[in-house]
Amino acid sequence: MKWLVVLGLVALSECLVRIPLTKVKSIRENLRENDTLRDYLEKYPFNPARFLSKYHQHRELALEPMRNYLDMAYVGIITIGTPPQEFRVILDTGSADLWVPSTYCNSMPCGGHHIFKPQLSSTFRPSGRHMNIAYGSGQISGHVGYDTVRIGGLVDENQALGLSHKVHGNFMDFSVFDGILGLGYPGLAIRGTTPVFDNLWEKGLLSENVFAVYLSSRKERGSVLMLGGVDPSYYAGELNWVPVSQPLYWQVAMDSITLNGTVIACKGGCQAIIDTGTSMLTGPPTSVADINHKLRALYSYGGEYRVHCDTIDTLPNIAFVINGISYPVPASAYTRKARAGTCYTNFESFHSKSPETNTWILGDVFLRLYFSVFDRANNRV
């Protein structure tokens, strides 16, 4: 029996697929370094609320109403088509569609990126369906096609993907990724399409209906997405499971946010979305302003808050309490240093014209501290 158990563990480890992730500059960082962040934010303010009212009106419109498109920073490599064409994509738990720029794209922002050429793929199949994907600061339109997608050695045949024709807004000018591969629930995807992870599971290519994310800020061990299992060598202690409160995003109930044991936000409970596609800690405007005030951070343009770099070591931990367990985030994680030695906090609010939502987005700032497992079989994180 002992040998059977050992053999079973070996078999499972062989079925675990690892996709290396690379941390790249976010759109926000590129805009700031080009001295265009202020102008961009004034022209394209992040306002998720303007998409919410449309959600049930245009079912072929895939909506990402909680997405802040300026802060995606981790990319992985996939290929599409036969022979394979390579793309750098955000592996994003906050959306569910796969899209890449295509040869049909007549917008300037498509330049400088890898372009999918369906006419060169023997396995490509058009669908004749249109698609529009709206984000907080831009929109992509095109059509849906089907082709073979390869990710981490897995071959996902007949996978639905969006081929961009037009990009509204110029965010692609400043992005170092080509497209996005969503890992959210199917309810976020374009109607009638199946997300990549669901396809992999339904085709029997994964040993477990689960994936995990390890985001590293250290050089000695790179960031990785794990499909079909969990490598326990990437974390210490026990996994603390939290039920998904709404199977659309990877959304959970959060008890509170505390500073030195005192509740400073999410009083009485709120919702939190665990999102690899957002760098920041994003929340309601009033709560974010209050937290930054307690940190003695000064408001800057675009919803950013500046803090004196020489005070960071004196700032307290801020804890996110989820399912009764406190997850502290130190000042070294919730602050960042930009060009010219200016420091900012990583707390960001939804656009001020948005309604006061009681939802937070826990992005890469949080995920770099806490190894996260996404369990579709049991709808838990």
Closest CA to 364 of 245, 259, 227, 215: 215
pLDDT given at position 191: 86
pLDDT given at position 61: 39
Segment 305-325 shows an average pLDDT of 95
Closest CA to 281 of 315, 262, 305: 305
Cα(156)–Cα(201) distance, integer angstroms = 10
pLDDT band at 50 (very low <50, low <70, confident <90, very high): very low
Q: Where in the chain is the domain with CATH 2.40.70.10?
A: 18-37+58-215, 235-375
User: For the segment 252-261, what is each residue's pLDDT rounded down to a tens digit?
Assistant: 999 999 999 9
Segment 296-313 shows an average pLDDT of 87
Closest CA to 364 of 197, 195, 175, 214: 214
pTM of the model: 0.85
Residue 170 has pLDDT above 70, yes or no: no
**Residues labelled as active-site residues:** 92, 275
Segment 72-87 shows an average pLDDT of 90
Residue 14 has pLDDT above 60, yes or no: no
pLDDT given at position 190: 87
Closest CA to 72 of 373, 380, 327, 361: 361
Class of domain 18-37+58-215: mainly beta
Topology given in CATH for the domain delimited by 235-375: Cathepsin D, subunit A; domain 1 (2.40.70)
pLDDT given at position 5: 35
Residue 151 has pLDDT above 50, yes or no: yes
Cα(318)–Cα(357) distance, integer angstroms = 21
Determine which helix (DSSP H) or strand (DSSP E) holds 285, and give its type and residue range: helix 285-294
Q: Are strands 318-322 and 256-259 parallel, antiparallel or unpaired?
A: antiparallel
User: For the segment 96-132, what is each residue's pLDDT rounded down to a tens digit?
Assistant: 999 998 898 876 666 677 889 999 999 999 998 988 8
